[in-house]
Amino acid sequence: MGAYILRRLLIAIPSLLGISLILFTVLALAPGDPFGELASNPNVPPEVRAALRVKFGLDDPIFTRYLHWLTAMLQGDWGFSFASRVNVAALILQRLPTTLFVVGSSQVLALLIAVPVGLTAARRPYSLADQVANTLAFVGFSLPTFFTGLLFILLFSIKLGWLPFVYQADLPGTGLPWIWANVRQAIMPVAVLGFFQAASYTRYVRASALDVARLDYVTTARAKGLTEGTVTRRHIARNALIPVVTLVALQIPAVFGGAIVTEQIFRIPGIGSLLIDAMLANDTPVVMAVTFVFAGLVILFNLVADLLYGWLDPRIALR
C-alpha cells in the first residue's frame, strides 16, 4: 500500500507539469501576449512595469520563460491583481474556503443520495421504483446547473421568499442564528450542484451494482443464507463502488466547472466567481492564477480518489 501511494504521488507530478505546460502554451500562443500586456498595461506604474519585465524575462527563450513562470506559480508568487491591487495569492486564499465548502457539501449530498438510490434501484431492475429513479436521474443530469439555479431562485426566493439568493461570505452575527443564516444561504447552491451530480452518480452506482449483482460470488453469498440486505451491503455495495470511484474522479473537473456556474448565479464569493469577474475585468494575473489553482485542485482530488480506490480494492496494491 505504501508503495502504491508513493507511485500515485509520483504519477501526479508529471500530470501537474503537463497541465502547467498546457496552460503556459495557451498563454504563450495567445495573441497580444498576455505577459507583454501585463507589463505594458497602462494601469501599472512604470517602476512596477519594469520589475515585471525583468521578472517575466520577456526577452528570454521560451523554455526559460516557462521555467520562470512555473517556479513563480509553484511558489505562490502570483503577482498583483490589476483590478483590486491586492496580492493574488491572498485574494485566492481568502476566497478558496467558500468554494471548497460549497463543492464539498454538494459532493457529500450527491453521494448521500446516489449510493442508496442507486443500490435500491439495482436490487429490482426494471421495477417501478427503478424506473422512477432512472427517469429522475435522467431529468437530473439533463437539467444544466445554470437553469436549475435560476428555477430555484425563481421558486424559493422570488415566489416563496424562503431563501436568500445572494450569498454572503461575511455574514454578521454569532451563535445559532448566524449558523442558521449560513445554512440557509448555502441550501440552494449546494442543492443545485448536489442534485446535478447525484443524478449522474446514481446512474453509475446503479449500472455498477447491476454488473456486480449478476456475478457468481453474489449467488454464493445468497447460497449462504444471508439476507438480501447483507448481500447488498457486504457483497454488492463495496464491489460496485470500486468502478464508481473512478467515474467520480473523472467528474471532478466537471464538478469545479459546476461550481463556477453556481457561484456566478448565487453571487458566491468563491474562486469561480473570482475567475469570471477577473475575465470580465481583463485581470490577467488573477485569471492565470485561478486557472492554475483549479488544475491543482483537480489533481489533488484525483489523488484522493486513487487512494480511496486502493483502500476499497485489495487487489490494487499488487499493480
Show contacts with another protein in window 136-165 (CB under 8 A). Answer: 138-139, 141-144, 146-147, 150-151, 153-154, 158
Place of cell 439533463: 142
Calpha distance 219→161 (Å, rounded): 52
CB 230 within 8 A of CB 186: no
Calpha distance 2→310 (Å, rounded): 10
Show contacts with another protein in window 286-315 (CB under 8 A): 287-288, 290-291, 294-295, 297-299, 302, 312-315
* Closest alpha carbon to 286 in 272, 304, 298: 272
As measured in angstroms, the least distance from the Cβ of 46 to another protein is 25
As measured in angstroms, the least distance from the Cβ of 180 to another protein is 25
229: contact with another protein by CB under 8 A: no
State the cell numbers at 265: 448565479
277: contact with another protein by CB under 8 A: no
> What binding mask, one character per residue, do residues 61-100 give for another protein by CB under 8 A, x or -?
----------------------------------------
Show contacts with another protein in window 117-136 (CB under 8 A): 124-127, 135
As measured in angstroms, the least distance from the Cβ of 61 to another protein is 22
As measured in angstroms, the least distance from the Cβ of 172 to another protein is 26
Alpha-carbon separation of residue 307 from 19, 134, 172, 314, 317 (angstroms): 21, 30, 39, 12, 10
Calpha distance 204→247 (Å, rounded): 7
Q: Which residues pair with 189 in a beta bridge?
A: none
Count of residues that interact with another protein, criterion CB under 8 A = 83
As measured in angstroms, the least distance from the Cβ of 49 to another protein is 21
257: contact with another protein by CB under 8 A: yes
Show contacts with another protein in window 191-220 (CB under 8 A): 213-220
Nearer to another protein, 183 or 300 (CB): 300
Show contacts with another protein in window 21-40 (CB under 8 A): 22-23, 26-27, 30-32, 34
* Three-state secondary structure of 109-154: HHHHHHHHHHHHHHHCCCCHHHHHHHHHHHHHHHCCHHHHHHHHHH
